[in-house]
Amino acid sequence: MHLYIDILYIYVEHLSSSFFAVRCLFLKLFGDASIYFPGSAELKGNQTMDIYSFLNSPDVDAHCRKIEKVWNPLEMAIIVHMSHRPLREKHAAYREILSDYDDMLLPQCSHHRHDGKQQFKQYLREYLAHEERNIEYFHKPDFGAVYMLRIEEKGSSGQGNWRNGLYSSLEKVMAYVQETYEPSEVYRIFIDRQMVDGDESIEFMVSYDGELLEIWNPLDFDGALKAACGFLDNYYIDIPAPFQKGDILTYVDRNTREGEEEIFVLEYMYCNNPELHQRYLTNDFCGDISDMNAAGYALANSLGSGLVFDTIMLATDLQYYKGSLKGKRKILKYVSLFLRDEIKIDLLTALQNKILLESFIELCGENLAWYNLKYFEEYSLDVEKNHVTICHSRA
């Protein structure tokens, strides 16, 4: 049978150079195209979405393509939902799923119990309609509607500040942003639409170019918010990632408010624990997309501070760090070696202290004499001309 399929494939390929024609023939003869066109689910029409392109991480994208990972329509919608793409592109993808893919029963999950007869597409339609109604309201030029700007700048701390002034249109808000800031100065932009009389408020996160990225504070029209919104957050799905313990990683499209990349060394990833992963997938545990996480070691921002252990949300937003490790970030190289069992904890501790002190000396410069260098002896370190060496035993 497989030989027949291979021969038929070659024959059809010679008949037409059109990829679409080949694909349609296989659909007609054999039904499920996902065998030959991985990354697709059951198709109702003649289109196949490149769902891999909605994965935020290029490394996760490449890995899933390589292993030919396939998702069902609900899982595809969740991947679109988690994407960093603008809402305009996400909504186009939702419509493609609604029009080109078969419907399915909505699975039970701990956060969304129902009678087992709920259809996935009905929920997706309600979700899409609710978001589009919020977007329409956001753009609606009502008399008495004003826009306020909240912007988080690079180098800031906290949640950003509301800018003084009210704007009569989105265009005027974005004109102010683009005249006042360079793209490299902006961390995040939020725009709030309010009525002068009343307490209705709707807030969006937007890009520097004015694209709507996320509904930050939606309005609830006719009770649809509770019924539709959030259901794509309620499921834990399988998105394989190539990362292993000890890998040095960073986030995709995410800098800190200080303008530097967040870099850390991976210790744990949700999909690398087979038993727990399977229990989440079968809803044996109460899991959702917030459980698709990772954990590892990063460096605290304060002067002289060393490693901190933290949980990183959405492990599928991670990618390999390809830059050089400078300053105290050189510690991460040795953390990686330690997690791979290539060095012992005592050497890691000594190296961490060495690198922290060297960074401290470099920062202090001529003011170093102000500090009591005897303090450093407690760490079995010698300090001399901006260089720290690990001492032998001080017996």
| 73-82 vs 87-100: helix crossing angle, rounded to 10 | 180
Q: pLDDT tens for residues 311-321? A: 777 788 899 99
Evaluate whether residue 130 is within a structural domain: no
User: pTM of the predicted model, to two decimals?
Assistant: 0.77
C-beta of residue 128 within 8 angstroms of C-beta of residue 143: no
Q: pLDDT tens for residues 235-287? A: 888 899 999 999 999 988 655 444 467 888 999 887 777 777 777 777 655 67
Q: Of the candidates 216, 232, 248, which is a domain's last residue?
A: 232
Listing DSSP states for 115-135 in one string gives -S--BHHHHHHHHHHHHHHHH
Q: pLDDT tens for residues 315-346? A: 888 999 998 998 888 999 999 999 999 999 99
Evaluate whether residue 18 is within a structural domain: yes
Name 264's bridge partners: 249
Whether residue 220 sits in one domain with residue 148: yes
Whether residue 220 sits in one domain with residue 242: no
Whether residue 218 sits in one domain with residue 242: no
> How many folded domains does the chain comprise?
4
| Residue 222 CB-density burial (10 A; 0-12 exposed, 13-18 middle, 19+ buried) | exposed
The Cα 129–Cα 133 span in angstroms is 6
AA identity, residue 243: F
Whether residue 296 sits in one domain with residue 362: no
Whether residue 183 sits in one domain with residue 284: no
Q: Using the predicted structure, report yes or no on whether residue 19 has a pLDDT greater than 60.
A: no
Evaluate whether residue 126 is within a structural domain: no
Whether residue 294 sits in one domain with residue 261: yes
Evaluate whether residue 196 is within a structural domain: yes
Evaluate whether residue 220 is within a structural domain: yes
Whether residue 261 sits in one domain with residue 188: no
Whether residue 307 sits in one domain with residue 365: no
Whether residue 334 sits in one domain with residue 240: yes
Structural domain containing residue 94: 2-119
Whether residue 112 sits in one domain with residue 8: yes
Evaluate whether residue 54 is within a structural domain: yes
DSSP secondary structure letter of residue 378: G
Q: pLDDT tens for residues 110-122? A: 666 666 677 899 9
